[in-house]
Chain A
Amino acid sequence: MSTVIPRQTKELDRVVVRFAGDSGDGMQLTGSQFTTVSSLFGNDTATLPDFPAEIRAPAGTLAGVSAFQVHISDHDILTPGDAPNVLVAMNPAALRANIGLMDAGGTVIVNVDAFDERSLEKAGYTANPLVDDSLTGYTVYEVPMTSLTMEVGKQVGVKPRDAERSKNFFALGLVSWLYSRPVEPTLEWIATRFAGKDAVGEVNTKAFKAGYHFGETAELFESNYQVRPAPAEVGTYTNVTGNTALAWGLIAAAQLAKLPLFLGSYPITPASDILHELSKQKHFGVRTLQAEDEIAGIGSAIGAAFGGALGVTTTSGPGLDLKSESLGLAVNLELPLVVVDVQRGGPSTGLPTKTEQSDLLHAMYGRHGESPVPIVAARTPADCFDAAIEAVRIAVTYRTPVILLSDGYLANGSEPWRVPDVADLPVIDVTFATEPNHTADDGSLEFWPYKRDPETGARPWAVPGTPGLEHRIGGLEKAHGSGNVSYDTGNHERMSHERADKIAGIAKGIPAAEVDDPDGVGGAEVLLLGWGSTYGAIAAGVRRVRARGLAVAHVHLVHLNPFPANLGDVLRSYRTVLVPETNLGQLVRLVRAEFLVDAQGIAKMQGLPFHAAEIEAAVLQALGEDIAEPGNAEDAAI
């Protein structure tokens, strides 16, 4: 299809678009395709899928609204954007649920066909917001998306009911025109995705084109917009979600360590996509077991690790609860294991589809006994790849279970990622024991499964099938060295210290905490300390503060246990340490206890990531600056 020169194309440096509709309206698909096309075009992108836990809540209700927010820009960005510039609302409920997120002056594109009395009522409107003055201050475009899509369906000859389902493609076409997106990638994607379902593919294609042409020809829009490609480092890029990057990181790590990968996992939101992705990659020798429960997920991974595989289990909060006892077993067995926790809102079932960072203390302390476990956290969707490799490195080097923390925001969010050269990935050395390692009093050679490496404190990994190294391990306390069952009191104290020291010693092998402070460590008054998915919002907040000519520093932790060796010194270099977390204050508690610093928490518990503006406000307040003073957010290139 030809790209018609529009009547006027305005340049924008960035735009935040939010697609919102019913759970069944295909908003996630629409949003992610818009993102893909923008990434391919060369924009920087960041996304925030925001959907309900119900697969199909009653149509037209607020509970059933599913949204996908994407931020596209001509420069490097860090967040999916605080407030959408454009809201595409497929029905009254989608409008009502999302209009509050918009700043005044924003653009609203509504599917006007859906604004009938019944739908308005279901959404809780007593009057039609399109005719009363409740949307004053917004630019509202009323587009008959349903009826125009049905018209397309009639031409193709499909049932009206089926045709109606393609209206999200109409919306995608319209927004693609509005932001001058190339159409070919979407047409190719429809052809591939709906291959073999000719009628569906045809209606989708035609609806997409109809939406695009509607924008072009209807005298509704004064202009359309262009967001130029963002300058980026030379290289090959792809768009990844956190769950995909994490799955690929596990595959990469298994290859780097030359170990077969085994995943034992029970389906749970928002972690299941890791299971799905790994289940597809059997040609890498990946074995996946959809276990009967969370406990069997980790149990089977422990069994695989005993046999010399890279054992992994993936879960979210409720599953981590169930895995606790088995994690303790892995601590005692001192076998490598990676437990991925894609955090979600809690407690209990909580908010399955909403993000939260509230499992840190659970990861740290959620086992009986003295049961230390290293913790690694990913900071962006693409960083899940590196975090997975790091978790595996620690697990196999130190023969320990490792908890890798991701969250719902990282899991489903996506960003462009410069694909690493496989040759540049770190080497992970794994050596299995093959020989006895101890001389008994009578001079005979024995194998001692708990004789530690003096450097790492790791015990030997001797796998079944190795003659002469037959040994028994288990959950009972081990005698130092020999690994025999021991109830000796002195031995228990010694072994407790050995396990604790081994984990603490990991700090020797991890990089020092990197401090983003242009004036050098201790230069700014205020330090923002973060971990995990708050990275984007904190870094964007830092840019906004600095755009005001004010100083602020930022440290973002990858390793939560043990902490980097320099962290205490860094924290003590700042008068004020602020710790933004999407929990009620977990890291802040750990650093206060560990380093005796008066760090202050900034909590957000809405199932949503921080906005850059919230971080900015917290820093300004700490600095005693006037929050009301308008900043320079646009220049801050958030």
Chain B
Amino acid sequence: MTDVAVPNTTRKDWASDQEVRWCPGCGDYSILAAMQMLLPELGVRRENTVFVSGIGCAARFPYYMSTYGMHSIHGRAPAIATGLAVTRPDLDVWVVSGDGDALSIGGNHLIHAMRRNVNLTILLFNNQIYGLTKGQYSPTSEQGKVTKSTPFGSLEAPFNPVSVALGAEASFVARTHDMDRKHMQEMFRRAHEHRGAALVEIYQNCNVFNDGAFSQILGRDQRSEMLIPLEHGQPIRFGADGGRGVAMSSEGHLQLVDVAEAGEAALLVHDETREDPGLAFALSRLARGPFEPTPIGVFRDVVRPEYGAGMAQQILDAQERKGPGDLATLLASGGTWTVS
């Protein structure tokens, strides 16, 4: 195949002709816009781009992209995308999922896609609620959450998606939110560049069933005090003028400190490439929920063997060893006798 330059595209080229049907004011609109505006910058082709989703509000995403796409069944998108990605390494395969889809019904597929390090870019729209089924609590809803299915409050402790991903050996883990297009685009770009399984958690507002779930940290006036931007190689600081920071206590846990008090040298320097996910995990546990200062950005970006490439290599190795498969030889491989 001749290497033809990727044609220039605009946001419009990546939008399908289908009417977008999310509720007015849904956070999903800004995520869709961020993606449609980013893709022209990534130097990729529409025909080589596939969005695979499960079920839920977020899962309608592929219908709105003028790429290849599959809106599959509840929770199974990572499994379906795995089959596609390992047989078609030439494609960019994105998985679009929500907190219920990825962490409840599809939890098993999500963790194993990350463990295997399949070359997938997984976007987890976390709105801490079931939207499409009209407002039941989700596996990321806070304990005590009152919903239609928990009129006396949810008894369940929530999952922290970043912690889950790190525990499942994901080689790239990031968090962003639907109020900051530039940050979303930067996280999507980084996740797309990563070879292997990349998970981006997106805090997303459901203005109908869980409005304001993230307002304590994402309100315009709250962000500087409540979001902790993670930047590789930099001391972790946040707050007005970077007055606050993250440091390791003498007991071995991470804590928030006043930089003036603790001293700059005490601050933890963020290293997303650390092989050991322990510190990234500790960072993911800094906030108990989106009501305390919360890290956003890339938690982890390490190089691990990519599953599909390994699979392809085993085929090449076998062909090198045995030559390409010959059917007649195979059928005779169990020992034969001849009747004449």
**A binding-site residues for B, Cβ under 8 Å:** 36, 39-40, 42, 232-240, 244, 248, 251-252, 255, 260, 262, 264, 281-287, 289, 291-293, 295-296, 299-309, 311, 325-326, 328-329, 333, 419-420, 422, 464-476, 484-485
How far does the Cβ of A523 sit from chain B's closest Cβ, in whole Å? Answer: 33
Instruction: Establish whether residues A464 and B109, one from each chain, have CB atoms under 8 Å apart when the complex forms.
Output: no
Please report the number of residue pairs spanning A and B whose Cβ atoms sit closer than 8 angstroms.
207
Instruction: Establish whether residues A255 and B338, one from each chain, have CB atoms under 8 Å apart when the complex forms.
Output: no
Instruction: Establish whether residues A289 and B86, one from each chain, have CB atoms under 8 Å apart when the complex forms.
Output: yes
How far does the Cβ of A289 sit from chain B's closest Cβ, in whole Å? Answer: 7
Asked whether A300 and B83 contact (CB < 8 A) given A281-B330, A475-B72, the answer is yes
Query: Which of B79, B327, B340 touches A252 (beta carbons < 8 Å)?
Result: B327
How far does the Cβ of A582 sit from chain B's closest Cβ, in whole Å? Answer: 27
Within 8 A of A (CB), among B312-340: 314-315, 317-319, 321-325, 327-328, 330-332, 334-340
Query: Which of A244, A292, A465, A473 touches B108 (beta carbons < 8 Å)?
Result: A292
Instruction: Establish whether residues A467 and B45, one from each chain, have CB atoms under 8 Å apart when the complex forms.
Output: yes
How far does the Cβ of A246 sit from chain B's closest Cβ, in whole Å? Answer: 13
Query: Which of B45, B68, B323, B336 touches A237 (beta carbons < 8 Å)?
Result: B336
Mark contacts of B49-81 with chain A using CB atoms, 8 A cut-off: 1 yes-contact digit, 0 otherwise.
Answer: 110100100000011011111111100100111
Instruction: Establish whether residues A283 and B66, one from each chain, have CB atoms under 8 Å apart when the complex forms.
Output: no
Give chain B residues whose Cβ lies under 8 Å from the Cβ of A251: 325, 327, 330
Instruction: Assess whether B82 is interfacial by the CB under 8 Å rule.
Output: yes
Instruction: Establish whether residues B325 and A281, one from each chain, have CB atoms under 8 Å apart when the complex forms.
Output: yes
Known: A283-B324, A293-B108, A472-B71. 6 other contacts (CB 8 A): A236-B332, A239-B335, A283-B321, A286-B315, A289-B311, A299-B82
Instruction: Assess whether B48 is interfacial by the CB under 8 Å rule.
Output: yes
How far does the Cβ of A154 sit from chain B's closest Cβ, in whole Å? Answer: 33
Asked whether A311 and B83 contact (CB < 8 A) given A238-B334, A474-B71, the answer is yes
Among the listed stretches B87-95, B224-232, B271-279, B294-302, which one makes contact with chain A, having 4 or more residues with CB under 8 Å of it? B87-95
Instruction: Assess whether B254 is interfacial by the CB under 8 Å rule.
Output: no
12 A–B pairs (Cβ distance < 8 Å), ordered by A:
A236-B337, A262-B87, A283-B318, A283-B322, A289-B86, A300-B80, A306-B80, A419-B336, A465-B91, A467-B47, A468-B47, A474-B63
Instruction: Establish whether residues A237 and B331, one from each chain, have CB atoms under 8 Å apart when the complex forms.
Output: no
Give chain A residues whose Cβ lies under 8 Å from the Cβ of B81: 303
Chain B, interface size category, equals 35 or more
Instruction: Establish whether residues A296 and B72, one from each chain, have CB atoms under 8 Å apart when the complex forms.
Output: no
Q: Which residue of A lies closest to B91 (CB)?
A: A464
Instruction: Assess whether B112 is interfacial by the CB under 8 Å rule.
Output: yes
Instruction: Establish whether residues A307 and B79, one from each chain, have CB atoms under 8 Å apart when the complex forms.
Output: no
Instruction: Establish whether residues A469 and B332, one from each chain, have CB atoms under 8 Å apart when the complex forms.
Output: no
How far does the Cβ of A433 sit from chain B's closest Cβ, in whole Å? Answer: 12
A343 to B78, CA, bound (A): 28
A36 to B87, CA, bound (A): 37
Closest 8 CB pairs of A and B: A303-B83, A474-B71, A284-B325, A300-B83, A299-B79, A296-B79, A303-B84, A282-B318
Query: Which of B87, B319, B335, B339 neighbours the largest number of chain A CB atoms within 10 Å of its CB?
Result: B87
Asked whether A236 and B336 contact (CB < 8 A) given A469-B47, A475-B72, the answer is yes
A504 to B18, CA, bound (A): 33
Give chain A residues whose Cβ lies under 8 Å from the Cβ of B85: 303
Q: Which residue of A lies closest to B71 (CB)?
A: A474
Give chain A residues whose Cβ lies under 8 Å from the Cβ of B18: 484-485
Instruction: Establish whether residues A287 and B338, one from each chain, have CB atoms under 8 Å apart when the complex forms.
Output: no
Asked whether A476 and B83 contact (CB < 8 A) given A236-B336, A237-B337, A470-B46, the answer is no
Instruction: Establish whether residues A303 and B79, one from each chain, have CB atoms under 8 Å apart when the complex forms.
Output: yes
A115 to B47, CA, bound (A): 72
How far does the Cβ of A44 sit from chain B's closest Cβ, in whole Å? Answer: 11
Query: Which of A237, A239, A329, A466 touches B338 (beta carbons < 8 Å)?
Result: A237
Instruction: Assess whether B249 is interfacial by the CB under 8 Å rule.
Output: no
Within 8 A of A (CB), among B130-158: none
How far does the Cβ of B91 sit from chain A's closest Cβ, in whole Å? Answer: 5
How far does the Cβ of B313 sit from chain A's closest Cβ, in whole Å? Answer: 10
Instruction: Establish whether residues B112 and A292, one from each chain, have CB atoms under 8 Å apart when the complex forms.
Output: yes
Instruction: Assess whether B16 is interfacial by the CB under 8 Å rule.
Output: yes
Asked whether A287 and B325 contact (CB < 8 A) given A465-B47, A472-B69, the answer is no
Give chain B residues whose Cβ lies under 8 Å from the Cβ of A469: 47
Q: Which residue of A lies closest to B311 (CB)?
A: A287
Instruction: Establish whether residues B339 and A233, one from each chain, have CB atoms under 8 Å apart when the complex forms.
Output: yes
Give chain B residues whose Cβ lies under 8 Å from the Cβ of A284: 324-325, 330
Query: Which of B70, B109, B111 touches A333 (beta carbons < 8 Å)?
Result: B70
Asked whether A287 and B315 contact (CB < 8 A) given A39-B337, A260-B87, the answer is yes
A474 to B70, CA, bound (A): 5
A295 to B91, CA, bound (A): 23
Q: Which residue of B lies closest to A232 (CB)?
A: B339
